[in-house]
C-alpha cells in the first residue's frame, strides 16, 4: 500500500505532459496575466465532495451550497441458507434508511469554506451535528503548480440522550466524550479535461470508544473522477484505515458513483459499503462488507446560491 501511495504521489507531481493545455488561453487579458502566473485549473471535481468525502474544490466567495444526502439499507442480504440474496424484505434497502444529512456550506473567501450539517447518524452515534472548515492552500495551474492542496478540519457532535449502559460508547460520561474530529490533507490533480485524481491522508480522533478500540485512526484514501460527457461523470472513492485493532469489526469504505450536472444542481448516485455520510462516521464507523452484499444505494443533491 505504501508503495502505491508513493507511486501515485509521484504521478501527481511529475506528469506535466498530461496537464492543461496553456495554448487554449484566448483572452488577451488572461494571456497578459499568464506571463506572471499561468491560469488556474478549475472543476477538478464537480463539487466540494467527491462522493462523500471532501474534494479540493471550493465554494467561491459569497456562494452557499445546500446539500441533501441519503443512504439506504443493504441492497443484498444473507438468506436463511447463508447465501447472498436480494434484500426483498427491505425492498433493496429503500425501507431501511441508513443515514440522511442536510447541510449548508458557505464560501467565506475563494479559498476558505465552512459548513454546518445535521444527520441522522449511524449505529449508536445518533442525532449528529457536524461542522467543518476547509482551506485551500494551493490551486493547480496550467503550468507551474501541478496540483491543488487543501486542508479540512471537521467534527461531529451526537446529541442523542446518553444511554445508561456504561459499557456502550453512547453512554458519554462527559460532554466532551461526544466529539469526534477528523483532520485531513487533500491533494488533487486534473489530468486533461476528463480525468481527476485525489489523494487524501489524515487523522480521525474519537473521544470515546469501545474498550478494545483505539481513539485515534490514521487513514489515507484515493478518489477519482472520469467525465464521460460534459454533464455526466463516474466517481470512485476509497479510504483505508491504519493501525486499527483486528478484533474491532471495521471495513474500509469503498464507494462508486455517477454524477449528473445540470448547472447549479448536481446529483450524485452512488453505491457504498459505508453507511455514514460524514467522514467522522464513515471512516472509522463502517461495519459493512461489500463481499457480504452489504452495500447500499445513496444519493446527494446540491444546489448553489449566491448570497
Partner 1 sequence: MSLYAFIRSDQGRTVPFVAQNDKNKELLEMSVEDALIRMGDEKPIHYIQQLNRDSARMGEEMVKYGRLLDKSNRRISKFFLCTDCHNLQKESADPSNESPEAVIKYGMEHHLPFLPGSTFYGMYNKRHWYNGDYQKKYGDLVRPSKDSLVNAIQLCATQCSQGREMTDWEIRCVLHYYKSLEYRIGDLFFRKDEVNKLQKMLTGNNAGAIKLIKTKYHEANKATFGTSKIPEIANYQPKLENGEYIYTNGCLHCHSVNREITNFDLGDNKLSYKFLNGKLYAYNQFSISHITRYGTYAVNGRKQYMPQYSMENMSDEQLLDLIHFIKTKAEE
Where on the chain is the footprint of partner 1 (CB under 8 A)? 24, 26-29, 40, 42-43, 60, 62-63, 193-194, 227, 229-231, 263-264, 304, 306-307
Which residues touch 215 (CB under 8 Å, ≥6 apart)?
205, 206, 207, 209
Q: CB 97 → partner 1: shortest distance, Å?
A: 27
How far is 274 from 251, CA to CA, in rounded Å? 8
Q: d(Cα 58, Cα 35) in Å, to the nearest integer? A: 25
Question: Residue for cell digits 491533494?
Answer: 187
Q: What nine digits make up the cell of 38?
A: 499561468
Nearer to partner 1, 84 or 112 (CB): 112
Q: Nine-digit cell at 81?
A: 441458507
State the nearest-atom distance from the C-beta of 271 to partner 1, in Å.
25
Contact 129, 156 (CB under 8 A): yes
The answer to whether the beta carbons of residues 98 and 286 sit under 8 Å apart is: no
Which CB sits closer to partner 1, 23 or 164?
A: 23
Q: Which is nearer to partner 1, 14 or 307 (CB)?
A: 307
CB atoms within 10 A of CB 278: 27
- What is the three-class DSSP state of 156? strand
Rank residues 166 and 229 by Cβ distance to partner 1 and give the closer one. Answer: 229
Residue pair 106/59 in contact (Cβ under 8 Å)? The answer is yes
Nearest to 201 by CA among 151, 136, 148, 137: 151
Q: How far is the CB of 12 from partner 1 (least distance, A)?
A: 21
Closer residue to partner 1 (CB): 82 or 263: 263
Q: Which is nearer to partner 1, 21 or 165 (CB)?
A: 21
Residue spans of alpha helices (H) in the chain: 2-13, 28-34, 279-282
Q: How far is the CB of 32 from partner 1 (least distance, A)?
A: 10
Smallest gap, in angstroms, from Cβ of residue 260 to partner 1? Answer: 13
Minimum Å gap between C-beta 41 and partner 1 is 10
CB of 236 to partner 1, least distance (A): 20
Q: Tell me the chain's radius of gyration from C-alpha atoms.
A: 20
All cell numbers assigned to 112: 476558505
Are the beta carbons of 234 and 225 closer than 8 angstroms? yes
Nearer to partner 1, 65 or 99 (CB): 65
Residue closer to partner 1, measured from CB, 47 or 202: 47
Q: Whole-number minimum distance, CB 126 to partner 1, in Å?
A: 32
C-alpha cell at 193: 479535461
Amino acid at each position: 500500500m505504501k508503495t502505491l501511495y508513493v507511486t501515485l504521489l509521484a504521478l501527481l507531481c511529475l506528469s506535466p505532459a498530461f496537464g492543461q493545455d496553456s495554448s487554449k488561453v484566448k483572452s488577451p487579458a488572461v494571456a497578459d496575466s499568464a506571463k506572471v502566473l499561468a491560469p488556474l485549473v478549475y472543476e477538478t471535481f464537480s463539487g466540494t465532495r467527491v462522493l462523500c468525502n471532501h474534494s479540493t474544490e471550493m465554494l467561491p466567495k459569497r456562494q452557499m451550497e445546500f446539500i441533501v444526502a441519503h443512504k439506504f439499507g443493504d441492497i443484498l442480504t444473507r438468506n436463511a441458507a447463508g447465501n447472498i440474496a436480494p434484500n426483498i424484505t427491505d425492498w433493496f434497502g429503500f425501507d431501511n434508511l441508513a443515514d440522511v444529512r442536510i447541510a449548508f456550506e458557505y464560501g467565506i473567501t475563494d479559498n476558505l469554506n465552512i459548513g454546518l450539517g445535521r444527520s441522522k447518524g449511524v449505529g449508536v452515534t445518533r442525532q449528529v451535528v457536524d461542522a467543518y472548515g476547509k482551506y485551500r492552500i494551493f490551486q493547480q495551474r496550467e503550468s507551474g503548480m501541478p496540483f491543488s492542496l487543501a486542508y479540512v478540519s471537521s467534527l461531529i457532535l451526537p446529541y442523542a440522550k446518553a444511554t445508561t449502559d456504561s459499557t456502550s460508547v453512547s453512554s458519554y460520561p462527559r460532554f466532551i466524550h461526544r466529539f469526534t474530529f477528523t483532520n485531513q490533507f487533500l491533494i488533487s490533480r486534473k489530468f486533461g479535461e476528463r480525468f481527476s485524481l485525489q489523494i487524501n491522508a489524515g487523522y480521525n480522533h474519537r473521544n470515546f470508544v469501545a474498550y478494545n478500540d483505539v481513539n485515534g485512526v490514521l487513514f489515507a484514501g484515493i478518489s477519482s473522477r472520469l467525465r464521460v460527457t460534459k454533464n455526466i461523470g463516474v466517481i470512485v472513492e476509497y479510504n483505508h484505515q491504519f493501525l486499527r485493532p483486528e478484533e474491532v469489526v471495521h471495513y474500509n469504505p469503498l464507494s462508486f458513483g455517477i454524477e449528473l450536472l445540470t448547472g447549479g444542481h448536481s446529483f450524485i448516485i452512488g453505491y457504498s459499503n459505508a453507511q455514514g455520510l460524514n467522514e467522522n462516521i464513515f471512516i472509522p464507523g463502517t461495519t459493512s462488507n461489500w463481499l457480504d452484499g452489504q452495500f447500499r444505494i445513496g444519493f446527494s443533491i446540491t444546489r448553489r446560491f449566491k448570497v
